Amino acid sequence: MNTAPNVFTPAKLGPVTLRNRIIKAATFEASTPDALVTDDLITYHRLPAAGGIGMTTVAYCAVSPGGRTDGWQLWMRPEAVPGLRRLTDAIHAEGAAISAQIGHAGPVANSRTNKAKAYAPVRFFNPLSMRFAKKATAADIDDITAAHANAARLAIESGFDAVEIHLGHNYLASAFLSPLINRRTDEFGGSLENRAKVARGLVRAVRDAVGDRIAVTAKLNMSDGVRGGISLDESLQTASWLEEDGGLDAIELTAGSSLLNPLYLFRGDAPVKEFAGAFKPPLSWGIRMTGKKFLREYPYREAYLMDQAKQFRAELKMPLILLGGITNRDTMDLAMAEGFDFVAMGRALLAEPDLINRIKDDGAVRSACTHCNKCMATIYSHTHCVVTGSPG
């Protein structure tokens, strides 16, 4: 009988060896006001690296100006490389690896602050930007695919150990996968095989660009938590195709729609008042009035995505990263016992960047994160934990 690996033992992720199986998940930092690396961004990632994680994930490295969710986010271009190199050097000095989350926000992109067109499978209204996203043509899709390959090459130049391709949360690739959003009738719409072409094409382009020089992972929605959206069965098929295509070293399993149901991923309290406070009127008024509909509450429990993720583990042979409600040693051990290769953590590391070293020293340590989700509203100003104040 196979014994489950110790979460604190080194593990291979493609060509990279991580010192343990714990990954800091991509969480917006709000630390790139000029779309370039700042000391603030370096501190944000250096603290959990010093705190014992195996790898940190930089969110979000858009592949183009119009692929950002907001105009102050970083996008991958030659001018960004010197700063990114400072960032990767700082993380490596702490003994951790570093991944760049690359992607295109599609209908989630804020075309107003980006001062660039947003793209979607069909013409689509974004209530946060109060703008329409343009229906992407085949040529637009080709351009965005090439931009992913270019972003991956720049990640290598910048010293990253891995890239995570964003195929989740109704960003561009995920919006194409969604039968609710993608109402096209051409080669990119209709059947799941057609709707999956963008996601599979992005992965293929990135893998062709990087070869085996760095690890390539993807963030994939298991379900959107929205009626008519991506279902578990369809996502399982997409994941099977991605495995067959051979472009990925691991999949990080996620859920929820940034556009329609964000708390399906986060679970816990719905911070409507704080979320409204992050915006100016009239949007803030709208959030206060309809916030409970948009920020639907789901009770928090440890490993809350485990039941869905186990269905992927049963179907796939490739490495899988379990995300969602992993805050203590017991849950990490459970993930390993269920056959997951890595665990990814977000809010708990925001609250306590040194949590991993403390858990390693004492398996009884419990996270200070209360799952209040008030950190969600800070992603528009300076991402931090409102309970502990971390990371400063």
Non-local (6+) Cβ contacts of 95 within 8 A are: 19, 49
Interatomic CA distance for residues 238 and 241, integer angstroms = 5
The answer to whether 252 and 220 have CB atoms below 8 angstroms apart is yes
Interatomic CA distance for residues 90 and 92, integer angstroms = 6
DSSP 292: H
Non-local (6+) Cβ contacts of 34 within 8 A are: 72
Q: Which of 171, 264, 300, 304 is the catalytic position?
A: 171
The answer to whether 19 and 96 have CB atoms below 8 angstroms apart is yes
Interatomic CA distance for residues 175 and 196, integer angstroms = 10
DSSP 38: -
Non-local (6+) Cβ contacts of 358 within 8 A are: 352, 365
Instruction: Choose among 93, 97, 80: nearest CA to 21.
Output: 97
Tell me if residue 119 is catalytic. no
Instruction: Choose among 130, 147, 54: nearest CA to 98.
Output: 54
Q: Please, what's the largest Cα pairwise distance for the chain? A: 60
DSSP codes of every residue in 74-95: -B-SGGGHHHHHHHHHHHHHTT
Q: Annotated active-site positions, please? A: 171
